[in-house]
């Protein structure tokens, strides 16, 4: 069953892709006491994710902060090294926290998995965004099919 508005995020160990190398984190601590714009996508360096999804949040980082967002978190079922390399490629460090859910544990706990094995990508996260307030899901936007609309930074800016 998928997570829903009003639910508490699961507390799962993840890795962060940082300029200083991979860093372990617990999602419970990451989201505690903060308003977070969290978005997930099928994979780093993939077409829509690189051309629109991550760049939209990088470009809107100041706007989201002005609307009360303490942190922006990008999550993908990739490893921390890939997430760091992608952040460098997209100039995202310092604006977006790059969360690597390498084993898909957080994605599974959210109930938002995507079977991308037809594309040779295995189990991934669905494309979604959520506003998380102190660990509680305040808004949840899950894309249908191959769409890219409700998980965008522009859509989230309008929700705040």
Q: State yes or no: is 49 an active-site residue.
A: yes
Cβ pair 96, 60 in contact under 8 A: no
Among 30, 49, 69, 100, which one carries the catalytic annotation?
Answer: 49
Cβ pair 77, 124 in contact under 8 A: yes
Alpha helices in the chain (DSSP H): 27-31, 47-48, 54-59, 61-66, 80-90, 105-110, 153-159
SS3 124: strand
Residues designated catalytic: 49
């Amino acid at each position: 069953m998928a997570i829903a508005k009003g639910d508490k995020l699961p507390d799962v160990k993840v890795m962060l892709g940082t300029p200083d190398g991979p860093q372990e984190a617990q999602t419970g601590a990451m989201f505690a006491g903060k308003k977070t714009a969290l978005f997930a996508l099928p994979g780093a360096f993939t077409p829509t994710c690189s051309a629109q999804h991550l760049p939209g949040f990088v470009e809107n980082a100041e706007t989201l902060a002005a609307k009360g967002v303490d942190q922006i978190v990008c999550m993908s079922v990739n490893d921390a090294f890939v997430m760091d390399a992608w952040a460098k490629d997209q100039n995202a460090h310092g604006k977006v926290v790059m969360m690597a859910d390498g084993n898909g544990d957080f994605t599974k706990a959210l109930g938002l998995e995507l079977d991308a094995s037809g594309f040779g990508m295995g189990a991934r996260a669905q494309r979604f965004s959520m506003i998380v307030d102190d660990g509680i899901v305040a808004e949840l936007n899950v894309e249908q099919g191959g769409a890219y609309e409700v998980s965008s930074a522009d859509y989230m800016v309008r929700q705040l």
